[in-house]
Amino acid sequence: MATEDTPLYFHDGDIIQLYCPLESGYVYSEPNSTSDLDLSIVSKEKIKVADFAAFSITLKKESENKEKHSSSKEKAKSEETEKIAYGSVICVKHQASDKFLIANDENEVKLSSSDDAKSLFRVVSPNHELEWGNLLKDNDPIKLECNRSSLFVNFNYVQKRKCYKPTLKANGTVFDVQMYCHKQNSKSIKGGSPIIISTLLNIEGYLCATGSFFSSKIDEIESTRPLEEPSASYGRSLEEPTEQQSGIEQQSRIEQPDEQPKYSLTKEGHGKEGMKVDLCKFMEGSFKKLPEYGDAFFQLERVSGPFGSPILFGEECRIKQLFSFKYLAIKSSPAQKVVVLCDFNEENESNVIFKVLSVSGSIDHEEVCDFDKVTFQHVKSSKYLSVDLRIRHGQGKRFDLTANEDSGVLQSQFKVLQVKKYLLMDSYYALGLSSFLYDSYIMLQDKGETLVPMCVIQNEIEKKMI
């Protein structure tokens, strides 16, 4: 933690968040398209996934000629000491989409996959209070100047769209640069980093959850609306099939295996009351193949300290399911401790906090890393998250979770695995798309527009997720 005596400096490759004090929000983007992405400013409470508001900053690369003639010793020294300063030219890369902040020829500021001259910005002190060369520290104010035009990134509120939109202007928005995490050991599990939690039992099983943010919102909306009959005017997908179409559909069902959505964003019965978490035995014939679905993706959230810093053994954290935005909790029932998914609020705050502890004798480092063997101790009850092998469901492939007093049994021991980058990009895209459609639905509802039934939106998402 930085203090006045030991300021937290920014290094090449660090992950940051850009806070806008005047607008009281963070620069944010949801990856809902494969093309350029829009940016906005949202309050902390509206950040669905931390990586949606996190960016890496990298210094402009040195010329190939200079790198060629530099000794390996000089390169190593440069990598160790290179820090970001006022006047530095940087690239800003969005963590959730892997796209770069760019200023196009129309002076629009977006996220794009191109990292050419349009993606270069200079770190400038507001009102030139600090001189070039002064090192950039945590929470320092900056403006971002386009390296091609000497114009600044400026966020203006667009009343029609009810959001902020960035362009290049002579007057720039002031950002407070906040440290998300240092560029560190790639194997370490950082706060907010998606992980897979595998059991150490002699079965190939992983923690999985049913339900999603989107499906729970559907249930909330549909429960307040009268039941409507679908109308054929909403498109061909709702028309009655012809005799020829029925024959083709029947033949395809016979010849092809059932094709399920890659992400369970809209499965029926997985609403607010249907959200569950358990241990799922992985499919037969896929030995040592990790899950590729968001149902099995979780995040460890640090309770205190820099959010994105590495999780340390013994540290308190919350276990958040990526797609539902719900938290693993242990609650007391008359008979036993019950493991559930719940919202993070004042009522549930003490039920969702766990300590990450190492399995005895298996760890010789402080940071929790990929493939480490761990136990999760519930702080309030002092019991350990555990698998109940007595209770099976889902054709014997799913096991309930419970709380156990013994951390030495295999039922209470797990392995944490990092999610591969390409799977993470797919998951973020699924979340961004569902969020976009939900927000669009609410916006049309607020305007009193004639709405397509929610089932049509569900079907469209499922098509994109297969």
CATH number of the domain residue 85 falls in:
2.80.10.50
pLDDT of residue 66: 46
Domain count, the chain: 2
206 and 338, same domain (yes or no): yes
Whole-number Cα distances in Å, 117 to 55, 114, 122: 18, 9, 12
Whether residue 221 lies inside any domain: the answer is no
Whether residue 343 lies inside any domain: the answer is yes
Kindly give the parts of the chain with pLDDT less than 70: 1-7, 61-81, 129, 184-185, 211-275, 283-293, 334-337, 362, 394-396, 443-466
280 and 405, same domain (yes or no): yes
pLDDT of residue 348: 87
28 and 167, same domain (yes or no): yes
119 and 40, same domain (yes or no): yes
205 and 132, same domain (yes or no): no
175 and 200, same domain (yes or no): no
Nearest Cα neighbor of 463 from 223, 265, 227, 201 is 265
pLDDT of residue 271: 42
Domain that includes residue 55, residue range = 15-63+77-181
Whether residue 27 lies inside any domain: the answer is yes
53 and 165, same domain (yes or no): yes
pLDDT of residue 364: 80
| Token output for 305 | 């300290």
Domain boundary residue among 419, 434, 461? Answer: 419
Whether residue 241 lies inside any domain: the answer is no
Whether residue 224 lies inside any domain: the answer is no
177 and 312, same domain (yes or no): no
168 and 205, same domain (yes or no): no
Whether residue 232 lies inside any domain: the answer is no
305 and 170, same domain (yes or no): no
pTM of the model: 0.75
Domain boundary residue among 419, 440, 458? Answer: 419
Nearest Cα neighbor of 26 from 47, 42, 38, 48 is 42
134 and 199, same domain (yes or no): no
Whether residue 424 lies inside any domain: the answer is no
176 and 297, same domain (yes or no): no
Whether residue 53 lies inside any domain: the answer is yes
Q: Beta 353-358 vs 25-28: how paired, if at all? A: unpaired
